[in-house]
Amino acid sequence: MNPVKRNRLTGLALALLIFAVDQWSKWWVTGPLGINQIGDYREILPFFDLRYVRNYGVSLGMFEATSPEMRWALVAVTGFIALIVTVWMLRERSWSEILGLSLILGGALGNIRDRYRDGFVTDFADLHIGEFRPFMIFNVADAAITIGVLIILARSFFVRDKDDDKTRQSAPGAAES
């Protein structure tokens, strides 16, 4: 198997792993730990709690689904985005791009499943400094999506230009400097 195919298959496997870890963590918090009602929480560290929240919106709680039609529209739109990310990942050659896209895909699948099954996304990770909360309450899927987007952005800002310069210099008929 060539390295590009292996990277793509590894990316798909990583997406499935992120999906599984996300779903397991939500089950663990709401099941065995019993943090399953709005307002329920458990302090883990002075700066980290497990706190049950239902997110009816998408990124940062925006575009809140206030009706069944809006819920299904969010499922459809996020499903379409996940399909685009999958196609993009299967066309990519660079491991760093595949890594970022697989994190985004795995996280998206986890949140899509929640919204499809429950009508909302279960969030529970609460990082804070006293009462100051630099992040909204999130879950494993949200963290994976955020890290994946940061990888894609970092690569586009810091690596693409170098790759493009190499491609231009090695292209037939490229001008000599």
**Marked catalytic residue, from 123, 161, 164, 165:** 123
Share of the chain above pLDDT 90, in %: 73
* More reliable by pLDDT, 134 or 47: 47
Neighbours of 137 (CB within 10 A): 20
The residues, ordered by sequence, that sit 6+ positions from 85 with a Cβ below 8 Å of its Cβ are 101, 104, 105, 108
Q: Are strands 121-127 and 48-55 parallel, antiparallel or unpaired?
A: antiparallel
Q: Mean pLDDT score of the chain, rounded to an integer? A: 89
> Rounded CA gap, 134 and 129, in Å?
8
- Annotated catalytic residue 165: no
CA distance 39 to 131: 16
- Assigned domain for 107 exists: yes
Name, in order, each residue with C-beta under 8 angstroms of 164's C-beta and a sequence gap of 6 or more: none
Q: φ and ψ at 122, to 5 degrees?
A: -80, 120
Annotated catalytic residue 123: yes
| Least confident span in 12-21, 62-71, 82-91, 137-146 | 62-71
Number of domains in the chain: 1
Task: With respect to residue 173, please indicate whether it lies within any of the assigned structural domains.
Answer: no
Which residue in the block uniquely carries the two structure tokens 């310069």? 165
Whether residue 85 is contained in a domain is answered as yes
Instruction: Give the pLDDT confidence of 78-94 residue by residue, as tens digits.
Output: 999 999 999 999 999 99
Please tell me which residue, 105 or 58, carries the higher pLDDT value. Answer: 105
User: Model's pTM, two decimal places?
Assistant: 0.85
Note whether residue 119 is domain-resident. yes
> In this structure, is residue 166 part of a structural domain?
no
- The pLDDT, as a whole number, for residue 177 is 44
Q: Which of 22, 114, 126, 142 is catalytic?
A: 142
* pLDDT per residue as tens digits for the range 122-162: 999 999 998 888 888 999 999 999 999 999 999 988 875 55
Cβ 54 vs Cβ 61: under 8 Å: no
In terms of phi and psi (left: phi > 0; alpha: psi -120 to 50; beta: otherwise), the region of 38 is beta
Does a structural domain hold residue 26? yes
Range(s) of the domain holding residue 46: 3-158
Nearest Cα neighbor of 139 from 11, 29, 14 is: 29
| Environment class of 106 (CB within 10 Å of its CB; exposed 0-12, middle 13-18, buried 19+) | buried
Rounded Cα distance, 122 and 75, in Å: 15
Higher pLDDT, 16 or 58: 16
Q: Looking at the domain assignment, is residue 164 inside a domain? A: no
Contact predicate 61/134, CB 8 Å: no
| Domain membership flag for residue 176 | no
